[in-house]
Chain A
Amino acid sequence: MTRTSDLIDLLVADAKPVRRLRHPAARASCWLLFAALVMFLVGLAHGVRADLAVKLNQPLFVISVAAAMATGILAAMGAFLASVPGMSRHWLLLPAPASLVWVATLGYGCLTHWVSIGPEGMSPGETARCFATLVLVGMPLSLVMLIMLRHVARLSPGPVAMTGSLAVAAITAVALSILHPLDATAMILLWNLGVAALYLSLSGRYGERLLSWVTQR
């Protein structure tokens, strides 16, 4: 076993000047700006949904999109704040009220959708396009957040990663609500939180091996 004093010598020898992380709120804002840019670019390429003007007059749609956007913004803030060691983990609850409103409108939306159109109403073509948009918006956002929050990997990554995924899911849901005529929120939530859960289980299983590889170098 290495003696602790020897380890300190090694760490001091390895110490280079580091750039401090910016304030979590500033970093969350950067991520949200990036999210806005991605949404804008995808919107530019895809075009908004044809019935957007009609939809914007429906209070339920407006509440749902606003709640999703609030969830996205607050979840991003919460994830970035809670990722810093020593900050309260209660920040992770920041998006809870907005996400409750979002999920409530989602449940209602699904129900009306089911009753008014029926299961055969969803064409696979539209669903596939939906999924493509989802991946197109969600992947870069997840990737950038993963890179920005990588320092949390050695702390307790689970709750932070879940909240970060919630932010990605909410922003993606906003994009899809504006771009696509179908209510795909359930799919988005399943996809984003499912990917997060998969990532977490993999990192839990292989994390230590990865870390020992990193520290060996």
Chain B
Amino acid sequence: MLRHSHPPSPASGSDKEGLASLTPGGQEAPAAKRADGKLDWSITMASAQMGDLNAYRRLLQDITPYLRALAARHIRNADDLEDTVQDVLLTVHSVRNTYDPSRPFAPWLVAIANRRIVDGLRRHGRVCSHESSVENELETFSADEANLQEEAADAHVVRAAIDQLPVGQRNAMRMLKLEEMSLQEAAAASGMSVAALKVATHRAMKRLREMFRQRGSKT
């Protein structure tokens, strides 16, 4: 069990006196303070359970640094830490009906927090066992050969090469590859049959490949 530096709840006997001072609806209740001036979490949670939204907000804001400190003893990564704190807050929210104001608040909170911290550590372990960090490798080689692919993909060069093709092949390439029309659409637009379009595209691709190969060998 983890020890906490901010013992939040007084003995259960004094809770009842604090509860008696609350209005029935939990509205307009003054902030329940302990003798040392800190917020009394037990009484605040009791009024939050009755629907006092201000008390609930004060409680959640007050326990967050405490939860962060609890989690920080086990979790180093700042993102994981904040994830775990939020997870604890979500769990506190979903099981807040299980808190009995006649019992101290800290063991209740710590039990929930420990559970979520263990879950966080497990999740972290699981993710780490499947992932390895990769450095950003932005450098490339300065030699031209390493960058040929980028040159080949240059749209301007490709368009110029397509313009050198015979008319049928040029139209097929323009419609099917550059304008990304379907075979049917291209057939309707050009009046060519689907089979003829396929043949024209195939020949055009073959021709282009030869053209680029020749150009590559020249350079």
Given A1-B82, A84-B100, 9 additional A-B pairs, CB 8 A: A5-B61, A7-B89, A15-B51, A20-B49, A21-B97, A84-B98, A86-B108, A154-B91, A154-B94
Bound CA span A4–B57, Å = 12
Residue B36 CB within 8 A of the other chain: no
Bound CA span A127–B96, Å = 45
A12 near B108 with CB under 8 A, answer no
The smallest beta-carbon distance between B104 and chain A, in angstroms, is 8
Bound CA span A156–B113, Å = 12
Residue A16 CB within 8 A of the other chain: yes
Residue B83 CB within 8 A of the other chain: yes
Residue-by-residue, is B20-58 near A (CB-CB < 8 Å gives 1, otherwise 0)? 000000100000000000000000000011110100110
Residue of A nearest to B115 (CB): A155
The smallest beta-carbon distance between B95 and chain A, in angstroms, is 5
A21 near B100 with CB under 8 A, answer yes
Bound CA span A155–B95, Å = 9
The smallest beta-carbon distance between A207 and chain B, in angstroms, is 10
B112 near A215 with CB under 8 A, answer no
Q: Which of A92-114 contact B (CB under 8 A)?
A: none
Please name all residues of chain A whose beta carbon is closer than 8 Å to the beta carbon of B109 when the two chains form the complex: 85-86
**Which residues of A are interface residues toward B (Cβ below 8 A)?**
1-2, 4-5, 7-8, 11-12, 14-21, 23, 84-87, 151, 154-156, 215
Residue in contact with B111 in the complex, picked from A4, A8, A21, A85, CB distance below 8 Å? A85
Residue of B nearest to A214 (CB): B94
Residue-by-residue, is B87-118 near A (CB-CB < 8 Å gives 1, otherwise 0)? 00111011111111101100111111001000
A18 near B112 with CB under 8 A, answer no
B100 near A8 with CB under 8 A, answer no
B90 near A11 with CB under 8 A, answer yes
Residue of A nearest to B79 (CB): A1
A20 near B56 with CB under 8 A, answer no
A19 near B97 with CB under 8 A, answer yes
Bound CA span A11–B64, Å = 13
Please name all residues of chain B whose beta carbon is closer than 8 Å to the beta carbon of A84 when the two chains form the complex: 98, 100, 108
Residue B85 CB within 8 A of the other chain: yes
B50 near A17 with CB under 8 A, answer yes
A20 and B57 contact, Cβ closer than 8 Å, known pairs A4-B82, A8-B89: no
A15 near B82 with CB under 8 A, answer no
Please name all residues of chain A whose beta carbon is closer than 8 Å to the beta carbon of B108 when the two chains form the complex: 84-86
Bound CA span A155–B112, Å = 7
The smallest beta-carbon distance between B79 and chain A, in angstroms, is 7
B89 near A17 with CB under 8 A, answer no
A85 near B95 with CB under 8 A, answer yes
A-B contact pairs, 18 of them (CB 8 A): A4-B89, A7-B89, A8-B60, A11-B56, A12-B56, A12-B57, A14-B93, A17-B26, A18-B96, A19-B97, A20-B100, A84-B108, A85-B108, A85-B112, A151-B97, A155-B95, A156-B115, A215-B90
A16 and B51 contact, Cβ closer than 8 Å, known pairs A1-B82, A85-B108, A86-B108: yes
A155 and B48 contact, Cβ closer than 8 Å, known pairs A11-B90, A84-B98: no
Residue of B nearest to A24 (CB): B100
B98 near A21 with CB under 8 A, answer yes
Bound CA span A183–B138, Å = 73
Residue of A nearest to B50 (CB): A17
Please name all residues of chain A whose beta carbon is closer than 8 Å to the beta carbon of B111 when the two chains form the complex: 85-87, 155
Please name all residues of chain B whose beta carbon is closer than 8 Å to the beta carbon of A15 when the two chains form the complex: 48, 51, 53, 56, 93
Residue of B nearest to A156 (CB): B115
Residue-by-residue, is B62-95 near A (CB-CB < 8 Å gives 1, otherwise 0)? 0010000000000000010011011001110111
A151 near B95 with CB under 8 A, answer yes
Bound CA span A14–B57, Å = 11
Please name all residues of chain A whose beta carbon is closer than 8 Å to the beta carbon of B53 when the two chains form the complex: 12, 15
Bound CA span A5–B57, Å = 10
Residue of A nearest to B57 (CB): A12
Bound CA span A171–B97, Å = 29
Please name all residues of chain A whose beta carbon is closer than 8 Å to the beta carbon of B60 when the two chains form the complex: 8, 11-12
Residue in contact with A23 in the complex, picked from B51, B57, B91, B100, CB distance below 8 Å? B100
